[in-house]
Amino acid sequence: MTAINAEDEVVGLCRDLIRIDSTNAGDNSGPGERAAAEYVAEKLAEVGLEPKILESDSRRANVVARIAGEDSSRDALLLHGHLDVVPFNAADWTQHPLSGEIVDGCVWGRGAVDMKNMDAMILAVVRQRLAEGRRPPRDVVLAFTADEEAGGNYGAQWLADEHKSLFDGCSEAIGEVGGFSVSIDEARRLYLIEAAEKGIAWMRLTATGRAGHGSMLNAENAVTELAEAVGRIGRYEWPVRMTRTVRTFLEETSRVLELELDLDDAEKTVAKLGPLARMIGATLRNTANPTMLEAGYKANVIPQTAIAHVDGRFLPGYEDEFFETLDELLGPNVTREFVYHDIAIETGFDGPLVRAMADALLAEDPGALAVPYTLSGGTDLKAFSRLGIRGFGFAPLRLPADLDFSGMFHGIDERVPVDSLRFGVRVLDRFLDGC
Ligand SMILES: [Zn+2]
């Protein structure tokens, strides 16, 4: 087999993947992930793996492959990345989002951050290791999924329901939205590793009243009823709830930044975190934001019903409290139903896998400090957690201090520095040695 250098190869893999259109608008109308899946499968087959392409629907393709480790009696590790990306408006971008251009030392394009960068890093590392005959210490399962950006019904959720056996023996996983650096000063960087995710509750609220003429007395006006409920929900101040991930994050960062930590006033500490405050602030409490309103069709007609949508997010361990509170805020005359509902997850920031991540970072960046954090959104990890897998967001990237990386998820001008990709490959390689 010809020699493969992952650090050299990762950039080309990332550019190739960006150029394959796999946008996912959420209505199953797009190009699908088939072309990207075929590309990935070919790259894996070239180094002797036997990847399976699994289609959940026409062109909605997933790729799963298993690498035999030195000790297959140990539990396996899952490495997962999604192949779809969110849509874009090309006119807003400096470089075309499907170009994969390299400008100013960065690879540009939709997916450069979320998450064709990590897909490319996984591919590059695995290819070099297999070409060199370096097996991981335990079995590693690779999953490249469809449809993460729309809830995973054609991707991870479907795999977890229909193809469980592909993940036999997997106890741990690493995936997206974590492992990137946030600079403290010249010498030190925090690497935020995702150890928890908030749960999701998108809800449709319906108030039903008595329809009638707008000139008449009407004490059962659905619009009034709904508006009051929406107002109560939108203005409610959810109490701060300290989860173990947030506590560990605050303890560690306060220590490093030499901030005074008052766990009874966590918001004060978070406010001092600068750009991190935006990411961390929403993980101190449940939230429920009204997002859509719909009622009526004429100024002098009181409609029978009025509808609103609310985006609810609950912390791990606080789902019951979330819905109890929400039902009180709704009042007796407004009902709710789910548009989308998924679990919250959390795992402890301890054990050999966490050490392997922290050690691999430290070996490549002596100023690295790995800290856990809670993601306010969701990833494929929710689906894989249903198979009993504990997971982390760990797509390691050492980033320039002035790059607003978290702001580029689903944003315009998504780009990832070439040097960061090369760094990530080195870290992942060490991590796989130590996993
Ligand atoms: Zn993503």
Write the pLDDT tens digit of every residue in 292-305: 999 999 999 999 99
Q: Give the helix ranges, DSSP H, for 179-238.
A: 222-235
Mean pLDDT of 34-54: 98
What is the 327 CA–ligand 1 centroid distance (Å)? 32
Q: Could you tell me which residues are beta bridge partners of residue 432?
A: none
DSSP code of residue 376: S
Report whether pLDDT(106) > 80.
yes
Which pLDDT score is estimated for 246?
Answer: 94
What is the 154 CA–ligand 1 centroid distance (Å)? 15
Separation of first and last alpha carbons in the chain: 25
Q: How confident is the model at residue 346 (pLDDT cuts 50, 70, 90)?
A: very high
Mean pLDDT of 264-277: 83
What is the 114 CA–ligand 1 centroid distance (Å)? 5
What is the 338 CA–ligand 1 centroid distance (Å)? 23
Which pLDDT score is estimated for 263?
Answer: 83
Token code pair at residue 109? 């394009």
Mean pLDDT of 96-109: 97
What is the 410 CA–ligand 1 centroid distance (Å)? 9
What is the 217 CA–ligand 1 centroid distance (Å)? 51
Radius of gyration of the chain (CA): 23
What is the 423 CA–ligand 1 centroid distance (Å)? 20
198-207 tens-digit pLDDT: 999 999 999 9
Mean pLDDT of 276-302: 93
Mean pLDDT of 15-36: 96
What is the 378 CA–ligand 1 centroid distance (Å)? 9
Of the ranges 8-17, 211-220, 276-285, which is most confident?
Answer: 8-17
What is the 115 CA–ligand 1 centroid distance (Å)? 5
Which pLDDT score is estimated for 147?
Answer: 97
What is the 135 CA–ligand 1 centroid distance (Å)? 28
Report whether pLDDT(234) > 70.
yes
Residue 368 identity: A
What is the 113 CA–ligand 1 centroid distance (Å)? 8
Mean pLDDT of 242-271: 88
What is the 178 CA–ligand 1 centroid distance (Å)? 11
Mean pLDDT of 325-330: 97
Which pLDDT score is estimated for 207?
Answer: 97
Q: For the chain, give the percent of residues with pLDDT over 90.
A: 90
Mean pLDDT of 146-160: 96
- Ligand 1 ion: nearby residues, β-carbon < 5 Å: 114-115, 176
Q: How confident is the model at residue 267 (pLDDT cuts 50, 70, 90)?
A: confident
Mean pLDDT of 342-363: 97
419-428 tens-digit pLDDT: 999 999 999 9
What is the 68 CA–ligand 1 centroid distance (Å)? 27
What is the 409 CA–ligand 1 centroid distance (Å)? 8
What is the 111 CA–ligand 1 centroid distance (Å)? 8
What is the 379 CA–ligand 1 centroid distance (Å)? 7
Which pLDDT score is estimated for 273?
Answer: 81
Which pLDDT score is estimated for 1?
Answer: 66
What is the 276 CA–ligand 1 centroid distance (Å)? 19
What is the 61 CA–ligand 1 centroid distance (Å)? 16
64-92 tens-digit pLDDT: 999 999 999 999 999 999 999 999 999 99
What is the 359 CA–ligand 1 centroid distance (Å)? 25
Query: Rounded mean pLDDT of the chain?
Result: 95
What is the 77 CA–ligand 1 centroid distance (Å)? 20
Q: Taking a C-beta distance cutoff of 8 angstroms, is the pair 337, 330 a contact?
A: no
What is the 238 CA–ligand 1 centroid distance (Å)? 27
What is the 81 CA–ligand 1 centroid distance (Å)? 8
What is the 176 CA–ligand 1 centroid distance (Å)? 6
What is the 268 CA–ligand 1 centroid distance (Å)? 30
